[in-house]
Amino acid sequence: MTTPSNEKMLQSEIATRLKRTDWYAFGNGILPNPDPVLRKAGVFHREIDDMWGDPFIYSLFANRRGGVMSYEWRIDSGNAESSSATLIETWFNSLNMALLIQQVLKSVASGMEVFEIPRYTSQSGVWLPAPPVLKPRQWFAFDVENNLRYHSNTGEPEGVVVINYSNPESAPPEQRFKFIAARSNPTYNNPYGDSLLTRCYWNHFFKKEGKKFWAIFTEQFGMPWVVGEYLEGIGQDKIDEFLTSLQQMIAGRVIVGPDSSKINVANTTTSGSSDNYELFLRDARYEITMLILGHEAMSRSSGSKLGNDTTELTAARWLVEADMWLVTDFFNELIRYIYELNNLGGERPRFVMYQKEEIDLKVAERDTLDYGMGVRFSKSYFVKTRGYADDDFEIAAPTPTKPQKPHPAAPFAASDAQDEVDRWVERLSADAGTGNALVAQMMESVLAYINEQSNFEDAIASLHTVYPDMNVDIALDVATEIAAGTVFGYYAAQSEESGDAA
């Protein structure tokens, strides 16, 4: 193997902040969050967290979170060792997964959420983590090397590294296995992740402040005015007494005054201002909805229907799938922690999320295909893959096939047709290995099935029910090319037999 002339250069990072002068960090070496909204608006974590109190924003995130929570999860063992996969699955089943998934999804709104594993306990010689605990993210910050640090009130001003992202291989265990961060789209420039709440900030701010202004405006100019009239020449003390009576009338709805006084209620018209405010509020809601759900249906509701039918109740599918990737990455990182801490070798099992209906359909289609190729399943297989209880079902013995009457001889001998099939099997297997060998095996099964039937048309019509996962058109094309003489001869013989009978 050729050794590079400058091997040290290949093992170190070249483009770093420390080699430039156009970046900024606090005196303790902590990198400030570069989010432009936080920087320009001068707001901090507290103001961003207060946005959860907005019912409209909270409901949007609840809808988006519900899209992910509607999926199931499981541990896909793959090629992992059976005992290790079972250990991981047992540990996951002991967690409050619904709570953890919802906490991980908070990072979509905030950009980053940090969890601490309080302790590890030994079970059957394997160190397993206690359930991760969500900690306040304002306790953590990144340094100039993009390592996550924890800041305590009594510790060092630069904090303590809890996750070493710059050089994890050589980091001590407390920097590799104690903390885990869920981050939404982190980059080198912004390791804090993308925060949807900060992107909603200005629309939330104007919506809130505009509502406050509108409440004051409505109170002052949108309510009826009580106008009292009095004769000129009466003393100021009488005027003050009359004014006090008008003010008391608002609460008691009763007033007493001299005969010369008059009271009128003047209504104001603010419909134009109301329309302007409605447009202002709708625009703010539109942008917030587009950002969180990926569409604006919820902000376009009308009196006759709620938005666009059911669209306003769901987040865009691509956003839900992106959130699922964030969740699966988090839990697969936990699996990595367990494997590396215990030096478990081999392939690791994976945490996956899926829609139950989709996976059940795929398993059923695969089982049907395998059955058509001769595979027979045990009762324990259905208990494991379908979730049935052992006493929910019985596997019946296969029904014996009725003997078929002999068919008239085809123009081509059966041995010639079989030789042709064998040549195709050898050809496909040699060309592309196992994949085409399976196809050839399936084609052989198709031909055998057609040959067992008493009527060619019925055989073709029922082929898709016996092999539901097979593209029947392609199967027929290949079958025809493999044994055209056999199929045609059989069909001709059947037609001739029907003609003789007539």
The string over 8-18, giving b where at least 16 C-beta atoms fall within 10 Å of a residue's C-beta and e elsewhere, is: eeeeeeeeebe
Domain of residue 256: give its range.
224-267
Residues 338 and 479 in one domain: no
Check whether residue 492 and residue 372 sit in a common domain: no
| Helix and strand element counts for the chain (H, E) | 18, 13
Is the confidence at residue 297, as pLDDT, over 90? no
Pick from 118-127, 171-180, 299-308, 356-365: least confident: 299-308
Task: Kindly report the three-state secondary structure assignment for every residue of 427-471.
Answer: HHHHHHCHHHHHHHHHHHHHHHHHHHCCCHHHHHHHHHHHCCCCC
Same domain, 382 and 457: no
Are residues 350 and 364 located together in one domain of the fold?
A: no
Q: Are residues 328 and 191 in the same domain?
A: yes
Q: What is the pLDDT of residues 139-163, one digit of tens each?
A: 999 988 899 999 887 767 778 899 9
Q: What does the block give as tokens for 192? A: 């804090």
CA angle 211, 215, 217 (to 5 degrees): 115
Instruction: Let me know if residue 6 belongs to a domain.
Output: no
Q: Tell me what pLDDT residue 65 has.
A: 92
For residue 325, CA distances in Å to 113, 314, 330, 360, 502 come to 15, 18, 9, 21, 67
Choose the weakest-confidence range: 3-12, 294-303, 375-384.
294-303
d(CA 61, CA 160): 33
Give the pLDDT confidence score for residue 6 in this predicted structure. 66
Residues 240 and 157 in one domain: no
The pLDDT, as a whole number, for residue 304 is: 44
pLDDT at res. 207: 81
Question: Residue 189: how many CA atoms within 13 Å on its side-chain side?
Answer: 5
Are 126 and 191 within one domain?
Answer: yes
* DSSP secondary structure letter of residue 134: E
Residue 7 covered by a domain: no
Residue 335 pLDDT more than 90? Answer: yes
Residue 292 lies in a domain: yes
Residue 409 lies in a domain: no
Higher pLDDT, 92 or 389: 92
The confidence band for 411, taking pLDDT boundaries of 50, 70 and 90, is very low
Asked if the model's pLDDT at residue 361 lies above 60, the reply is: yes
Structure tokens at 498: 């029907």
pLDDT at 96 over 50: yes
Residue 277 sits in the same domain as residue 173: yes
Indicate the number of domains in the chain: 4
> How does DSSP assign 3-28, residue by residue?
PPTTHHHHTS--S-GGG-SS----TT
Q: Are residues 28 and 65 in the same domain?
A: yes
> Looking at residue 309, what is its pLDDT?
46
Torsion sign over Cα 146, 151, 156, 161? negative
**Of 267, 297, 327, which residue sits at a domain end?**
267
Q: Are residues 123 and 173 in the same domain?
A: yes
Residues 212 and 252 in one domain: no
117 and 98, same domain (yes or no)? yes
Mean pLDDT of the chain: 75
Mean pLDDT calculated for residue range 62-81: 91
What pLDDT, on a 0 to 100 scale, did the predictor assign at position 233? 66
